[in-house]
């Protein structure tokens, strides 16, 4: 499947910067995989048969939840595209139900970055783009928000 930006580029338009949702969306899955592994290792330790069975069942249930969260995070990241071209900013979400946001670079009034402490540490944050007469659009949990902002504001 081709990227959305490749399908909509105008003649003479080129992609300057591309980014995606940050990998932090995988965090619940990572924690669940660690817990599932720890429960499985615990079930291999010498203890009562009832506890072994309980640890194995709990490990399996947590692994199923981890698998669900892994797929959900992957699908979320796969269906989001955010690009800056030499003419506009393009943000696409969705797979079957698609939502797109496009704003010409000359209509961008300001670009605000909001990062939490963890966002500063792991380099993710929310970017709000304010357009002249075109409203406000916030892109949530984007990777490298400062580089994204710089690609919009430097011309």
Sorted by where each begins, the domain ranges of the chain are: 16-22+83-153, 26-76
pLDDT digit string, tens, across residues 4-60: 888 989 999 999 999 989 999 999 999 999 999 999 999 888 877 788 889 999 999
Residue 72, exposed/middle/buried by CB under 10 A (0-12, 13-18, 19+)?
A: middle
Q: What is the mean pLDDT of residues 93-100?
A: 91
pLDDT at 46: 82
Supply 37's token pair: 């592994």
- Which CB contacts under 8 angstroms, 24+ apart, belong to 136-140? 137/91, 137/101, 137/103, 139/82, 139/91, 139/101
| pLDDT score of 140 | 93
What's this model's pTM, rounded to 2 decimal places? 0.81
Q: What are phi and psi of 78, to 5 degrees?
A: -70, -30
Residue 30: count other Cβ atoms within 10 Å of its Cβ: 15
User: In angstroms, rounded to a whole number, what is the distance separating the alpha carbons of residues 113 and 152?
Assistant: 12
Q: Using one digit for the tens of pLDDT, what is the confidence trace for 115-125?
A: 999 999 999 99
State the average pLDDT over residues 130-148. 90
> Tell me, what's the pLDDT at 155?
67
pLDDT of residue 90: 94
Residue with tokens 């909001």: 114
Average pLDDT over residues 92-117: 92
For 5, 78, 99, the CA distances from 22, given in Å and listed in that order, are: 19, 11, 19
């Amino acid at each position: 499947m081709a990227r959305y930006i490749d399908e909509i580029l105008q003649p003479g338009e080129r992609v300057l910067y591309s980014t995606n949702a940050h990998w932090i969306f995988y965090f619940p899955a990572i924690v669940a995989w660690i817990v599932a592994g720890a429960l499985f290792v615990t079930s291999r330790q010498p203890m009562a048969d009832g506890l072994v069975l309980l640890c194995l069942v709990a490990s399996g249930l947590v692994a199923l939840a981890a698998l669900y969260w892994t797929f959900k995070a992957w699908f979320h990241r796969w269906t989001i595209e955010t690009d800056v071209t030499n003419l506009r900013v393009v943000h696409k979400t969705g797979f079957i139900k698609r939502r797109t946001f496009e704003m010409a670079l000359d209509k961008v009034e300001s670009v605000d970055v909001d990062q939490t402490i963890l966002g500063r540490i792991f380099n993710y944050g929310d970017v709000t783009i304010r357009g002249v007469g075109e409203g406000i659009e916030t892109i949530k949990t984007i990777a490298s928000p400062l580089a994204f902002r710089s690609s919009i504001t430097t011309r």
